[in-house]
Structure 1
Amino acid sequence: MIHQDNVQEDIPNDIILYAASLAAYYSQDKDSGKVSVDYTKIKYVKKIPQGPLGLVTYSHHKTIVVKPTPHK
């Protein structure tokens, strides 16, 4: 998750790519050459009622393909 103080501005692409590469690195697919990562605004993320902890649905997402990279 990327926290942003000014919600009126879009998050820069380099920040999205960096966060996606970290998410890919800590995913089950971290040994893959490329990993697809979805992202969306928090207002489009909804918890599933009576669902297990951490299970959500989301909409209005975009997908990027990144190389898993550890923290710099």
Structure 2
Amino acid sequence: MDEPQRRQLPQIFANSQKLRTYIELRNELAAMWERSNASREQLLVQLQDWCHRAEQSGIKALQEFAMRLRRYA
């Protein structure tokens, strides 16, 4: 992204609840994978919670991804 595009991001995020939700859930999932000190059980509970919130988000891409993740968990 060039600088003018980066400057527009806050306004884009402010105007789109779905985009904010998508980015928030994406960042939470990435942070979950990076935690090395959580037990397998803790990670499973966190992943199930994340999947539930993704399914309730109303964002089709997140709903589909959560469904795929549930097949592995």
Q: Give TM-score scaled by structure 2 length.
A: 0.31
Please identify the structure whose Cα radius of gyration is greater.
2
Between Structure 1 and Structure 2, which shows a larger proportion of strand residues?
A: 1
**Structure with the greater relative contact order (CA < 8 A, sep ≥ 6): 1 or 2?**
1
